Structure 1
């Protein structure tokens, strides 16, 4: 599938380009020589088992940690050196990252509006709050919200600056099916209306099949598959992406999977 683009002068600037991206923590290599690019307006799922390197890759995309080797560009900017140059064009959401619990929802969102330099911040906040159905929550302490309400508030924070690139880490974790479906539909609607690029790390394979144009599968910090969900399912001779995911994290090859499928073995 799509790899790093050539350096032609008239080539479009891509939302994400990684070249030889590597991150070591002492003797542990969390991300090992990744090469990939992401085209504008697409939704890409970054998958892998626990410890595969997904969260570390996202943290490097955000400029929160520096690569040990290689480089990563967001909209043509090396985020390890100058992440503030593109900070207003991107955002991040994860249910595992809490907003300050004692502040109200409105106070939290206004703080982030200030971080992103959003003009007419109060009007923008009101519009996003109405869109995400959190207008009745604005004056509640964030720590008093349910998991589903916190997810909506987290999405509001992530969409405040109308990002062109949205990074999502397990966006529907711990949500009931109805709320999770609402979140997925909201993301699809936003991406289509904004022409935004989405990079999603998820363990929900049904979610990935519904949202992703392309899947990058990691194992031990390396890319082992990079294809569309449908192509991966076909090449592994499986019925669902979850079956493919299990094959990959358990170290099974495409050839092994095809032989099992022909022999009727799981």
Structure 2
């Protein structure tokens, strides 16, 4: 049986008097890609913020790598990283400067070798001398993902990783994530409202609806149990 990378128990989050996350519990096993599917406002981004320790829970418990996040935050965060199209890197720095800056920040030992390897994998050699602020959405996604992989995270958290991307770039990113996960035996948690994205790369799907978990399992079992023929029907019916 695979060990648990994430264990969330009875998690609740209030903002003022509004309950954004409503008593949810779920597990993520090692060596897996898990998708959190939900419409805008379902609580996906808030949940990611809580898993990174950026947003405190009102009640409940989060364990990552078998340790309580509140008690071992610094130790846990060394083995996690995060990517989102809604979070930019310093715009006036070149891509190369950004990657070297974050490598030093993360305490990477072989900085040049690490960057060169990831840049090659992500096919972004032509971007290194460009200012980050001048890049297209697809180019920024590659750079942000490269930054997120500098510390070889055991757990990678991705918030809408292919939002606003053209189909070709979206397919490249998905295929890259599948290859990376298999090669490194890492765990990846993806939040998305993109049905194709979740269906194509995730072995486990958690459907989040108004801060609660409506369903949790692999695609085949979810469709069979809920008597739906496709993920789209399931999402529209449950989401």
Q: Same fold (TM over 0.5)?
A: yes
Q: 2:17 aligns with which of 6, 10, 27?
A: 27
Show structure 1 runs of 4+ deviating over 3 A: none
Aligned residue in 2 for 1:209: 199
Give the drift of 1:13. Answer: 4.9
- Superposed CA RMSD: 1.4
Q: 1:160 aligns with which of 150, 153, 158?
A: 150
Q: Which has the higher contact order (CA 8 A, sep 6+)?
A: 2
User: Is the contact made by 2:11 and 2:21 (CA closer than 8 Å) also made in structure 1?
Assistant: yes
Q: 2:179 aligns with which of 154, 172, 189?
A: 189
Q: 1:148 aligns with which of 130, 138, 146?
A: 138
Q: 2:52 aligns with which of 39, 55, 62?
A: 62
Aligned residue in 2 for 1:232: 222
- Tell which deviates more after alignment, 40-49 or 230-239: 230-239
Normalising by the residue count of structure 1, what TM-score does the alignment of the two structures yield? 0.86
Is 1:174 matched with 2:184?
A: no
Aligned residue in 2 for 1:139: 129
User: Is the contact made by 1:54 and 1:218 (CA closer than 8 Å) also made in structure 2?
Assistant: yes
Give the drift of 1:82. Answer: 3.0
Structure 2: give runs of 5+ residues left out of the alignment.
none
Aligned residue in 2 for 1:110: 100
How many residue pairs are counted as aligned between the two chains?
239
Aligned residue in 2 for 1:120: 110
Structure 1: give runs of 5+ residues left out of the alignment.
1-10, 250-266
- Tell which deviates more after alignment, 187-196 or 119-128: 119-128
* Bigger Rg, structure 1 or 2: 1
Deviations 1:121-150 (A, max 9, x none): 122111111111112211211001111111
Give the drift of 1:234. Answer: 2.4
User: Is the contact made by 2:40 and 2:193 (CA closer than 8 Å) also made in structure 1?
Assistant: no
